[in-house]
Structure 1
Amino acid sequence: MTHRLVALVVTRDRLDQLQKTLAALLVSDADVLGEVIVVDNQSGDGTADWLAAHKDIRVTVLTQGANLGGAGGFEVGLAYVRDHTDADWVVMMDDDGRPAAGTLETFQNTNRATREAWVTAVRYPSGGICEMNRPWRNPFWSFGGFLKGIAGGRGGFHIDDSAYAAPAPIDIDGGSFVGLFWSRRAIEKAGLPQGRLFLYGDDVLYSLALRRAGGRVAFDPGLHFQHDCETFGEDDGTIQPLWKVYYMRRNQLMVYRSAAGLLFYPVAAAFALRWWMQAKRYAGQGAAYRALLKRAIKDGFAQRTDMTFDDVQKLAHPDR
Structure 2
Amino acid sequence: MPLTTVIVVTWRGRDHVADCLDALAAQDRPHRTIVVDNASDDGTADVLAAHPSRPEVLRLSRNTGYAGGIAAALSAVDTEYVAWLNDDAAPRPGWLAALEDAMGQGVAAVASRLEYPDGTVQSTGVRLTADGHGADSTAEGAPFGFCGGAALLRTEALRAAGGVPAGFFCYYEDTDTAWRLRLAGWDIRLAPDAVARHRHGASTRPGSVAFHRWNERNRLLMLLRCAPAAVAARELGRFTALTLSLPVRRRVPDAANFRVRLRLRVLAEVTLRLPATLAQRRAVGARCTVDRGVVWRRWACR
Partner in structure 2 of residue 128 of structure 1: 120
One-letter identity of the residue aligned with 2:214: Y
Q: Cα offset for 1:111?
A: 5.7
Partner in structure 1 of residue 234 of structure 2: 266
Q: Cα offset for 1:110?
A: 5.3
Q: Does 1:48 align with 2:41?
A: no
Partner in structure 1 of residue 299 of structure 2: none
Distance 1:204 1:230, change over 3 A: closer
Aligned residues: 271
Is the contact made by 2:80 and 2:155 (CA closer than 8 Å) also made in structure 1?
yes
TM-score normalised by structure 1 residue count: 0.73
Cα shift readout 1:30-88 (whole Å, capped 9, x = no counterpart): xx13211100000001111222233424x11000011111110010122221xxx3x12
Partner in structure 2 of residue 90 of structure 1: 82
One-letter identity of the residue aligned with 1:221: P
More strand per residue: 2
TM-score normalised by structure 2 residue count: 0.77
Q: After the TM superposition, which residues 1-320 of structure 1 pair with which residues of structure 2 at under 5 Å, given as runs?
A: 4-29=3-28, 32-57=29-54, 59-81=55-77, 85=78, 87-109=79-101, 112-130=104-122, 133-138=123-128, 149=130, 161=138, 163-164=139-140, 170-229=141-200, 239-240=207-208, 242-257=209-224, 258-275=226-243, 281=254, 288-289=261-262, 291-299=264-272, 301-302=274-275
Identity value in percent: 24
Distance between the aligned counterparts of 2:204 and 2:231, measured in 1? 36
Q: Cα offset for 1:106?
A: 2.8
Q: Which runs of 5+ in 1 are unaligned?
A: 140-148, 165-169, 306-320
Distance 1:181 1:232, change over 3 A: closer
Distance between the aligned counterparts of 1:231 and 1:187, measured in 2? 27
SS of aligned partner of 2:15: helix
Cα shift readout 1:78-100 (whole Å, capped 9, x = no counterpart): 2221xxx3x12121111112312
SS of aligned partner of 1:117: strand
SS of aligned partner of 1:15: coil
Cα shift readout 1:240-267 (whole Å, capped 9, x = no counterpart): 2x34444332211112222243222122
SS of aligned partner of 1:193: coil
Partner in structure 1 of residue 281 of structure 2: none
SS of aligned partner of 2:76: helix
RMSD: 3.3
Distance between the aligned counterparts of 2:97 and 2:155, measured in 1? 19
One-letter identity of the residue aligned with 2:11: R
